[in-house]
C-alpha cells in the first residue's frame, strides 16, 4: 500500500489526463485525487474534486479532507491563451502556485510538482542547445509567469525548506488528450487532421524548429523527478528537459511516410512570434546528471506510436 496521497490540480488537461492514469497505476486509484475547475468525464474513473486553485480556502479544505501529502499543480493558462488574457494568465499562474507553495510552507503537504516551460527563455537566449543557466528574458505573459514561478519555487525551497520540484517542459505531444492554448499545439493537431482530412494548415512557418517531447517521456520525467531522492534534486527552480526538436516541415515528412498523400500549408499567425522567441533545442545535462533523465522516443518513434494509437 502506498502511503502517498496525491492531488492533481488541472487533471483533465493535456498532461493531467495521462498523468492521472500513470500515477494511479503506480500509487493505486484511490490514492490519486483528480481535480479540475469543473466536473469532467474523469470523475467516473476515480476520486475527483472540483477545485478552483485561486481559492486557497477550498484548496486547503480538500487537501486536509483527503489527507493529501503531494500536489501536482497543472492548472495554468498556456502561452497563446495568456497573450489574449494577460492579467488572468498572470493571476492564475501565480496565485495558484502561491496557494500550493503555502500549503507546503505550513507543512500541510510535503512535496509539490509544478511545471515550468521552454517559455522561460526569450529572444536573447542562445537558441541552440540552450543551457540550464543562461540569459532568459521571456517576452510572453506565460513565460514571465513561469520564470517568476521558478524564482518563487527556489525561494520557498531555500527559505522554508519546501520540497518543490519542477521541469521546463518542451512542446508535448500525445494521443490521449488535446492540448489547450499553446504555441506547440500544432504538433498534436497535425496528426488528427492528417487522419481525418489528409491535409493540415499550420499556424507556424515551415522551418520553425522547436523542442518537443512525446507524452510518455514527459510523464516518465515528471514521476521520475518526484520519486528521486530529495538530495539528488539539486536545482529547485526548474530543470531543462529535452526530447527532440523538429519543424512543421520535418514532421510533415514523417507523417507522409504513413500517409503518402498528406499535404501541409503554412499560414503563420500571432503564435509565430511566440515560437520565434523560444529555443530550438535544449541542453538537459543537469537532469541527466542529477536524477538520471533519458528520453525513450525520437521523432520517428513518436510518429509511429501516435499513428498506431490514433488508428485504434
Ligand atoms: N506547450 C507550451 C505552449 O505552447 C509550452 O510550454 O504554451
The enclosing domain of 39 has a CATH number of: 3.40.50.720
Residues 100, 24 share a domain: yes
79 and 161 housed in the same domain: yes
pTM of the model: 0.97
Question: Looking at the DSSP assignment, which residues form a beta bridge with residue 302?
Answer: none
Could you tell me the three cell numbers for 173? 505531444
Atom number, ligand 1, closest to the C-alpha of residue 171: 1
List the chain pLDDT tens, one digit each, 312 residues: 568 999 999 999 999 999 999 999 999 999 999 999 999 999 999 999 999 999 999 999 999 999 999 999 999 999 999 999 999 999 999 999 999 999 999 999 999 999 999 999 999 999 999 999 999 999 999 999 999 999 999 999 999 999 999 999 999 999 999 998 999 999 999 999 999 999 999 999 999 999 999 999 999 999 999 999 999 999 999 999 999 999 999 999 999 999 999 999 999 999 999 999 999 999 999 999 999 999 999 999 999 999 999 998
Residues 161 and 22 in one domain: yes
On whether the CB atoms of residues 30 and 46 are closer than 8 A, the answer is yes
One domain, residues 193 and 48: no
Strands 167-169 and 239-240: parallel
For residue 1, being part of any structural domain is answered with: no
Say whether both 106 and 220 belong to one domain. Answer: yes
Same domain assignment for residues 79 and 183? no
Is 142 catalytic? The answer is yes
159 domain-assigned: yes
Tell me, yes or no, whether 231 and 271 share the same domain: no
Whether residue 200 sits in one domain with residue 82: no
Structural domains of the chain, count? 2
Give yes or no: residues 116 and 234 share one domain. Answer: yes
Measuring from atom 2 of ligand 1, which residue has the nearest CA?
A: 182
CATH number at residue 304: 3.90.25.10
Same domain as 283, residue 155 = no
Q: Which of 27, 72, 142, 169 is catalytic?
A: 142
Whether residues 99 and 157 share a domain: the answer is yes
Q: Is 14 domain-assigned?
A: yes
152 assigned to some structural domain: yes
Domain that holds residue 48: 6-171+213-240
Q: How far is the CA of 43 from the centre of ligand 1 (A)?
A: 26
Amino acid at each position: 500500500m502506498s502511503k502517498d496521497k496525491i492531488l492533481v490540480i488541472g487533471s483533465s488537461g493535456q498532461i493531467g489526463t495521462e498523468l492521472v492514469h500513470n500515477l494511479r497505476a503506480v500509487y493505486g486509484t484511490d490514492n490519486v485525487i483528480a481535480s479540475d475547475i469543473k466536473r469532467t468525464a474523469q470523475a467516473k474513473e476515480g476520486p475527483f474534486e472540483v477545485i478552483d486553485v485561486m481559492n486557497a480556502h477550498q484548496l486547503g479544505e480538500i487537501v486536509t479532507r483527503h489527507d493529501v501529502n503531494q500536489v501536482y499543480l497543472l492548472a495554468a493558462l498556456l502561452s497563446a491563451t495568456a497573450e489574449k488574457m494577460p492579467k488572468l494568465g498572470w493571476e492564475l499562474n501565480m496565485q495558484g502556485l502561491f496557494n500550493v507553495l503555502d500549503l507546503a510552507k505550513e507543512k500541510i503537504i510535503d512535496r509539490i510538482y509544478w511545471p515550468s516551460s521552454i517559455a522561460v527563455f526569450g529572444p536573447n537566449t542562445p537558441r541552440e542547445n540552450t543551457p540550464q543557466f543562461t540569459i532568459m528574458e521571456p517576452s510572453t505573459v506565460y513565460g514571465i509567469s513561469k520564470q517568476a514561478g521558478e524564482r518563487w519555487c527556489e525561494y520557498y525551497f531555500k527559505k522554508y525548506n519546501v520540497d518543490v520540484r519542477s521541469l521546463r517542459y518542451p512542446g508535448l505531444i500525445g494521443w490521449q488528450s488535446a492540448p489547450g492554448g499553446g504555441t506547440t499545439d500544432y504538433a498534436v493537431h497535425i496528426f488528427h487532421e492528417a487522419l481525418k482530412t489528409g491535409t493540415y494548415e499550420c499556424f507556424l512557418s515551415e522551418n520553425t524548429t522547436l523542442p518537443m517531447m512525446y507524452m510518455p517521456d514527459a510523464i516518465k520525467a515528471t514521476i521520475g523527478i518526484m520519486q528521486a531522492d530529495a538530495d539528488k534534486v539539486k536545482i529547485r527552480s526548474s530543470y531543462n528537459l529535452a526530447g527532440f526538436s523538429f519543424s512543421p516541415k520535418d514532421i510533415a515528412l514523417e507523417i507522409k511516410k504513413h500517409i503518402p498523400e498528406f499535404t501541409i500549408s503554412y499560414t503563420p499567425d500571432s503564435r509565430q512570434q511566440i515560437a520565434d522567441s523560444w529555443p530550438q533545442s535544449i541542453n538537459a545535462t543537469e537532469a541527466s546528471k542529477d536524477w538520471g533523465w533519458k528520453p525513450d522516443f525520437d521523432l520517428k518513434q513518436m510518429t509511429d506510436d501516435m499513428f498506431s494509437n490514433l488508428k485504434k
